[in-house]
Each structure stands twice: as structure tokens, then as C-alpha cells.
Amino acid sequence: MYRIAGILSLALLAAALNLLAWTQSPFNAGVLFSLAGSAIAGLAWLVLLFTTGTARSVLEGRAIGGLNAVVSSLFFLGICVVAYAFAESNDQSWDLTREGRRELAPQTIQVLQSMNQEVRVIGFFLNVDDELANIGKEKTERFVAQCQQYSPLLQWEVQDPQVAVATMEDLGINFASPQGTIVIKSGSRQRVITLQGGSPRLEERDFTNALINVLRDAEPKVYYLTGHDERDLQDSKTPAGAGGILEILTRESYQVEPLSIGTAHPTLPEDADILVVNNPKGDLRQDEIAALDDFVERGGRMLFLLDPWVRVDHGLAQREFLRPWLRERFGIAIDSDLVLSESGDNRFETKLDFDQTPYLDIDEMPPAYRGSYHAEHPITRGFDQLMAWQASRSVSVAEDKPKNVAALEIVRTLPATWGETRLVELQKEGTAVIDPDEAKGPLPLVVAAARERESKVEDGRPRDARVVVIGNSSFAANGQVTFPGNINFLLNAFAWLSESEDLIAIRPSGVSDPPLMLDDTQRRVVLWVSCLLTMQLFAAAGAAVYLLRGRNQ
């Protein structure tokens, strides 16, 4: 009889735990009835055990080990239940997804550490029992707390848009997303980020760009030169277009517009901060060169992206203007070659890396470069991204550069490359060999130069003219500009030209994991399987073994 009472007690206890897992209510009538029945049956088991004279035999031999195991298991189960109840009452959670575990990008940290004014981050989240809204709020709070470790000037607050109506009106916000709206504000400048989608969160890339925007006093004006069959700034769809850079530059608070230098008044606008010449198919006119001269005297900044030219269209002039002007003013020599690789399936591809191994036999100690990148210049200092450029030309510092110019070759090819100069023959025959008079690798691909000026700007400070010349433009075209190495290098060049050194770093990427959304039934299934099913399977297996042994004896 005592065995029947013991089995009945365990069965009722199991029923109570299963009902508790499915109902999530410890005061459910079925749960309370089963627990009470289990307690009564357990008490009856103890009474029968000690009154029938079998207690001594049960407590001897192997049975004592089984009893200890049962008691220990019950204690362990009780500890698990208490720990689960404690965690539930404190509403603790951990984000173990890939996006929750990753560290902040170097650029985000750099911008936070360089802050010199207070920035308010206001999260408008509805105070409702909505899972998506709560996910967005929790992820945003964790992300902002991570950012606050790098700057005490970052202030975080949460408001309910249904209550803080006056605050929203002051900020000029007419609508708050049900999943969350984030306002980043510093002084009179602010940016609004709307959370949406199946995994609402404050994206690091959006936050960093908004932070850069509100901290800047002005938005640098970038003009893209037109009129020479350059890459189309309005084309954001085809791989050869240049429109993909528009959104990227806008996110970093640059204003971008096309520019055609007219013949009647050949000059650059007064608000021009940076002029981009993106792979013109023909040479610049002499009056356009005069406009560039005037821009340089005003402390202008320029970025040249120049692919190899098989043929340069000089127009009506019988001589070339752009390349001689760059050499005369900045000491930059742009060679008429095509960089080819001595090995590999694609000989036109130039691989750029920060690995120093291929250069060990040719570099002096200590080396000025980290692999392909100059170790000291702001654009490439700390740059650890891979790039692969198609069809590049070499760009170097001329020996006869002006004395008031500081120029540096900041990107170079691998040693196993050379500069092919027989471009017409290469185009016709499709084959190329290294001639004795052709330059061998490593070859410079990018030169950054600054020209000192004697004149002063309006605030009395001298402002040097800066230029970056890159012997490749395809890396900045739609088909390749989104590659991490390409976009980081290009934006580093823009940051150096605009004297925004705090932006020169590896930028955050948009990586997120979709949340696993479970309804109430699915949650109960997960709880039941993880907490009870395994234990009950082991108990059933033990009971089966016990019964089989009993029959065989």
C-alpha cells in the first residue's frame, strides 16, 4: 500500500507542476488541488512506511541511495523554481543576439569621446503592452547605455508621446511611431530617427550619423564637376553610376550638388568646400583650370578620381591641362599607365591589405606603411580594411614638387605588380608583359597633398588648400562603393579634406538579428519542454526499469 501512496503522491506532484507550467497561475484550482492531493498521499506514504514495519528494509542497502537521489532532485527542482520566480519578479533580460554582443564601431567611439557639448537622446515609446514597442525600447536603452560609457555628455530620457504632447510640439514632431521615435538634439540642431520593422532598434549607423550632424556647426558643401562625361551623379542604379555616394555623404552631413563651370564666368561658388572630379573622359578646359587656381587660392579642397586613360580628349587644344596643373601646383604626378598584377586570375585587380608580410624584404625599419596603407597619414592611419580595385593607375609625388606643398603617397600596391604603359597595344592584343623601362611594384595609387597659403581667411586663420588624387574611380561607383573598405576609405578622404578628423575611423555597419516572437502558447511549450519534459522522461525511464527488474526477480 505504501508504494501505491508514494506513486500517487509523485503523480499528483507532476500533474501540479505541468498545470502550473501551462496555466502560469500558482493559484489555479487544478494546481492547488493536485498539490494538496500530493501532500496527502505523501503523508500517507510516510505513515504506511513506518507503521507496516518496512521502513527499516527500505532505508537499508541500495534503497537509501535511491531515496537520497529523489530528495536531492526535489531540492534541486525547488531551487530552480525559486530562481525562476526571482528572475520573473525582477524582469531581467540579456540580449545574446549578434547585435547585442558586438562592440561599438571605432568611429562611434571616436565621435563620442570627442564630444564637447551636451547631447540629449529622447526616446518616445508608448506605455502600452506591445511586444514590438518594448523590444525597441529595451534595445535602445541598452545601446545608449553602452554609448554613455564613452561620454558623460550623452543624456538619455524616455517619454510617453501620449503624455509628453507639449515636448513633442516643441521638438516639431507631429507623429511618433508605435515602435518608437528617437530624437537626438544638441543646441538648435536635432535629428529624428523612427524605429520600424520586425526588429525595431536604434541602428548604430543611424545614431552615429545623427550624432555627427547635430555636433557639426555647418554642413560642408560638396560639388561634383560635370561636363566631361564624368560618372553620373544622378545614376544610382547601374554599377557604373555615381549616385550611390549621394545618400552616404548626406548621412554624414555633407550637402552634395552637381556643378558645371560656365565659360562666361568660370569660377566655383563661394559656398564650395570640396570639389570632386570623378573620372572625366576628356581634359578640363583652360578656363576651368583657372577656376581651380582661384579655388586653391581660397583654400579650396579637391578630390580627383582618375581611371587609366587610353586616350585623352584635348578638345580644340593641342596640349593637356589637368595633369600638368596638378603637378605644378601640388607636385602630384599622374602616370599614363595601368597597374597589372604578376599573378592571379584577374591581372587587372589590385588587392590592398594591411598585411605587412609581402613587404618584409623591401621595407626599411621601422616601416612607413602598414601593408598597403601609410601608417601616419590621417586618412590611412589605423585603416585595417581590405580593398580590391579594378583597373588602377599609379599616382606619385613628383621630385620637383613646390616647396610650399606637403605631399604623401598613402596607398601602394603589392610588390608583385607593374605599371603597363603600352595601353593601346594592350587594348588591341589583350596581352601584356613587363618591359625593362616599366615601373615595378609596389606602386603608389593615392597621394594626399596640402598647399600652404599666404593669404588669410575671414577669421584670420591660415587655411591650406588640400587635394587627394586617387588613381581609380570604380571603387567609388555604385557597384563597389558599398563594400566596407571602399566606403570607409572614401569617407576618410572626405573627412580629411573637410578637416573633420574626428570622423576618420571605421564606420558602423547595419547588422541586426530578427527577434524570435513567441505567443503565449509557444512560451508555455518552451517552458514545459525545458523545465518538465526532460525530468519526466527520466522519471518514466527509471520507473520502467524498476518495474522490469521487479518482474525478472
| pLDDT tens digits, one per residue of 285-335 | 999 999 999 999 999 999 999 999 755 555 555 678 999 999 999 999 999
- Residues 6 or more apart whose CB falls under 8 angstroms from that of 353 comprise 371, 372, 386
Helix or strand (DSSP H, E) at 375:
none
| Angstrom distance (rounded) from CA 70 to CA 90 | 30
Question: What 3 state SS string does 51-85 have?
Answer: HCCCHHHHCCCHHHHHHHHHHHHHHHHHHHHHHHH
Which residues make beta-bridge pairs with 62? none
Handedness of CA 138, 143, 146, 151 (dihedral sign): negative
Specify the pLDDT at position 489.
94
| Angstrom distance (rounded) from CA 213 to CA 319 | 44
Residue 545 has pLDDT above 80, yes or no: no
| Angstrom distance (rounded) from CA 30 to CA 26 | 9
Kindly report which listed range (3-12, 121-130, 243-252) carries the lowest average pLDDT score. Answer: 3-12
Residue 263 has pLDDT above 70, yes or no: yes
Specify the pLDDT at position 195.
84
Does residue 460 or residue 361 have the better pLDDT? 361
Kindly report which listed range (107-116, 252-261, 496-505) carries the lowest average pLDDT score. Answer: 496-505
Give me the residue label for grid cell 588587392: 351
| Angstrom distance (rounded) from CA 15 to CA 454 | 90
Helix or strand (DSSP H, E) at 472:
none
Does residue 155 or residue 551 have the better pLDDT? 155
Grid cell for residue 142: 541598452
3 state DSSP class of 157: strand
Question: Under a CB-based contact definition with an 8 Å cutoff, are residues 106 and 505 in contact?
Answer: yes
Q: Is residue 121 left, alpha or beta, with left meaning phi > 0 and alpha meaning psi from -120 to 50?
A: beta
Question: Under a CB-based contact definition with an 8 Å cutoff, are residues 157 and 120 in contact?
Answer: yes
Residue 56 has pLDDT above 60, yes or no: no
Please report which confidence band the pLDDT of residue 271 belongs to, taking 50, 70 and 90 as the band edges.
very high
| Angstrom distance (rounded) from CA 332 to CA 445 | 11
Residue 23 has pLDDT above 60, yes or no: yes
Which residues make beta-bridge pairs with 417? 341
Is the pTM for the entire model greater than 0.75?
Answer: no
Give me the residue label for grid cell 601584356: 432
Give me the residue label for grid cell 586618412: 379
| pLDDT tens digits, one per residue of 151-184 | 999 999 999 998 999 999 998 888 888 888 999 9
| Angstrom distance (rounded) from CA 185 to CA 193 | 11
Give the Cα-Cα-Cα angle 403, 408, 409 (nearest 5 degrees): 140
| Angstrom distance (rounded) from CA 278 to CA 390 | 15
32, 64, 37, 44: which is closest to 4 by C-alpha? 44
Please report which confidence band the pLDDT of residue 516 belongs to, taking 50, 70 and 90 as the band edges.
low
Give the Cα-Cα-Cα angle 70, 74, 77 (nearest 5 degrees): 135
Give me the residue label for grid cell 605599371: 419
| Angstrom distance (rounded) from CA 272 to CA 256 | 10
- Residues 6 or more apart whose CB falls under 8 angstroms from that of 35 comprise 12, 13, 16
| Angstrom distance (rounded) from CA 553 to CA 551 | 6
- Residues 6 or more apart whose CB falls under 8 angstroms from that of 242 comprise 224, 230, 231, 232, 233, 235, 278, 476, 477, 478
Amino acid of residue 155: Q
Kindly report which listed range (201-210, 366-375, 463-472) carries the lowest average pLDDT score. Answer: 201-210
Tell me the percentage of the chain whose pLDDT exceeds 90.
42
Specify the pLDDT at position 478.
94
Section 254-265 average pLDDT: 91
3 state DSSP class of 310: coil
Q: What are the φ/ψ torsions at residue 60 (nearest 5 degrees)?
A: -105, 160
| Angstrom distance (rounded) from CA 408 to CA 248 | 27
